[in-house]
Amino acid sequence: MQVKEYVSEKLREKYYEIEHSSGLRIFVLPKEGYRSTYAIIGTPFGSINTEFDLKEGKVRVPDGIAHYLEHKLFESEDGDAFAKYAETGANANAYTSFDKTCYLFNCTEQFEKSLSILLELVTNPYFTEETVAKEQGIIGQEIKMYEDSPEWRVLFNLLGAMYHNHPVKVDIAGSIESIAEITPESLYTCYNSYYNLHNMALSVVGNVTVEDVIKVCDKYLKEQEKAEVKSIFPEEPYEIKEAYTKQIFPVAVPIFNLGFKLKAQRLHNEEELAHLDILLFMLASSTSPMYRELMDKGLINSTFSYEMFEGSGYSAIIFSGESRDPEKAAEIIKAYFDKIKSEGLDSKDFEDAKKATYGDALSSLNSVDTVANMLEDFYFSKRKIFDYYDAITNATLEKTMNILNEIDTKNSALSVVKGE
């Protein structure tokens, strides 16, 4: 077992990276004086990982199986994991995203017991024909609930407009038809491929020590042989599929998602991510001229937001919110980006955005769940958390401008959900 220590004198923080004998990668960031502890364990198996290579050959599994597997792991032969967490007082949850599945808890006491429940949960699958069939009705109801969510529909309509082939355009939970194809055998295939401890990571932040975490891991985790698995994704053109999509929905105010599709050969490194964050703050935060123009014209309200949306084989910038005239709002956003590309970024605005981005990132270190999630996300995207903070400090106007010039506003799609 190897333990590495990472220290940032500037941030006055340090964390430990442990290569556990079982194969699990563990990150621990102690927070002196904190009462709570947050732990999250994840695997890079999300909704997009429906085709993969094993030693035995290529495997294709039904859409929604990662989310289905997340649900099933909470069941075991000796009871439901949530009932066990209730005894420790921990607040537990799990989620499946496009590119990973994570299980987590937050507690103020009985940390070791809660961590043991978490580790037992992800290392003891129990799938039978009966239990798998029972879950289809539960998840079927969840799928219908998402179909009735305008925010969910506007996003997946956008992804369907931007992406020709990539499975990121498929609903995370799958469809009623696809989950009907899930069997205990297909669940075990996915579990054995992606839930191998060598593919997973555990991040713990808060009122805890490295020794606390290792003690529980030593007790509940056995050494595993490494499982080789490689996800397969179809060829995806750079160009969007269609520029506009609209769905009629019973909403009081129309909602929109505008996406700028980017090149996605790989994930952005710490330096590129830092420059993107600064750029988006400059152009779209509540202090930007674009935001003020949209607000002054009554085209957006406080729901307006933006995000960098990326994963294996996909990358985009997405703006979203409510608007009385989504088409006009999208027109102004695209025109503003093109205007700044032509005129160049203002150096003072850049320095202000750089400080604000660093300040926001710095304040996030006060949240145990935010830090733990960052450690988890950065590990799977092959980034290091302290390097990201250094990249913000060292960001330059020239490199930020280079990032802006890579954004083609013509390669964009607008998704609108509105009433009759």
- Cβ(244)–Cβ(174) below 8 Å: no
Transcribe 282-300 into DSSP letters: HHHSTTSHHHHHHHHTTS-
Q: Nearest 5°: CA angle at 153, between 149 and 155?
A: 125
Q: Supply the Cα-derived Rg of the chain in whole angstroms.
A: 22
Give the separation between CA 397 and CA 159, rounded to whole angstroms: 31
**What is the C-alpha separation between 326 and 329, in angstroms, rounded?**
5
Say if strands 314-322 and 230-231 run parallel, antiparallel, or are unpaired. Answer: unpaired
Q: What is the 3-state secondary structure (H, E, C) of 342-376?
A: HHCCCHHHHHHHHHHHHHHHHHHHHCHHHHHHHHH
Token pair 């219908």 in the structure block, residue: 144
Nearest-CA neighbor of 291 among 324, 336, 326, 253?
336
Q: Among residues 13, 56, 70, 135, which one is catalytic? A: 70
Catalytic residue list contains 75:
no
- CB neighbourhood size of 264 (10 A): 20
Task: List active site positions.
Answer: 70
